[in-house]
Amino acid sequence: MPMITQKKNVSITGKVTPDDAECIACVVSSSDPEAFAQLVRKYQSSVRQFLRRLSAGDHAMADDLAQETFLLAYQKISTYKGSGHFKGWLFKIAYRRFLRMKQTGAAKYEIISSDITLNSVSNDAVEADILAEKMMGYLTVEERVLITLNISEGMSHSEISQYTGISLGTIKSSIRRSKQKLIKEFSTEEQVA
Amino acid sequence: MKDNLMKESLIKNGSLKSDDLFVKLLSYHVQLIDDVFVESVMKKIDSAFKFRQWVLSIFTVLGCIGGLIGLSMLWGSSKAVFESVLLSGYSLLFFTLIVVAVVVFFTWVLNEEFETP
């Protein structure tokens, strides 16, 4: 049974949490697999959901990329300086992995989905997530990552800029444009209905 | 929920309360907690680690073989030189220290690679 959660818009600020710091220290010092497994358990939902939004609902590809993200995080964990939140660092890796995959097969990720029907909205949390993922099909990859980090993850524009390397101005305009696109699609569907 | 979302999404009098709608629509509704995923990740890490061990081992062996071949090729033509140089006391001591230093160095370098994750 999927857990229905209403995620609050909590901004990711500050440094790594004490629990994370302990796990990271164990991994760095002694390559402790159980410590890293704890980090994977803690952040798997966020990373997988993030990649599902980026991939506009391709769960298999998203989960594959999520595994690669954690693998790379394990290999490069000694480079994590602790200056930002550990989850943000994971998102940075995930985003770059996704961009690399996009370069090899870019066309299929830019297809604008035209088969979304608002009539499919229901109270079921799983279907709500699927609808959100399909909505990403209307957006470019950059728009997807920015709107997901801003709205779904609750990151501020400056945090998004820190983790993606995209300038603040571009982030603001891109998020505004994304919202306009989605509003336009909602309005179009309403008129058709 | 469908009706509420539809109403909320309508453009009313030129204004739209889109931010709340977007938060409601784009929030993560399901927590993906999956032990199978965690196990898959740990297996991938283990496989990657073992692959690195194999690569390092193979190239270390190839390097040693190449070194021995080179030494054997030089030995024949420089046997007299080797005998006169190495058989002197200080040269032999120096050569032994070099060999020990190399062995220690490689042990230090490869020890981390052979630690089990």
With the C-alpha atoms ordered A91, A92, A94, A95, is the resulting torsion angle positive or negative? positive
Both tokens of residue A53? 């939004």
Q: What pLDDT is recorded for position B104?
A: 80
Measured in angstroms, the CA of B67 and the nearest CA of chain A are apart by 32
pLDDT tens track for A20-73: 888 898 898 888 889 999 999 999 999 999 999 999 989 999 999 999 999 999
Listed as ranges, residues in chain A with pLDDT below 70 are 1-18, 105-123, 188-193
Split at pLDDT 50, 70, 90, the class of B60 is confident
Measured in angstroms, the CA of B13 and the nearest CA of chain A are apart by 14
Of A141-150, B49-58, B66-75, B78-87, give the range with the top mean pLDDT.
Answer: A141-150
CA distance A147 to A176: 9
Chain A interface disruption, residue of B17, B32, B44, most A CBs within 10 A: B32
Q: What pLDDT is recorded for position A144?
A: 94
CA distance A79 to B90: 45
CA distance B18 to B77: 85
State which residue of chain B sits closest to A129, comparing Cα positions: B29
Q: Which residues of A touch B42 (CB under 8 A)?
A: 33, 36-37, 40
Chain A interface disruption, residue of B11, B22, B114, most A CBs within 10 A: B22
- A146, A160 Cβ separation under 8 angstroms: yes
Split at pLDDT 50, 70, 90, the class of B112 is low
CB pairs under 8 A between A and B: 117
| Amino acid, single-letter form, for residue A10 | V
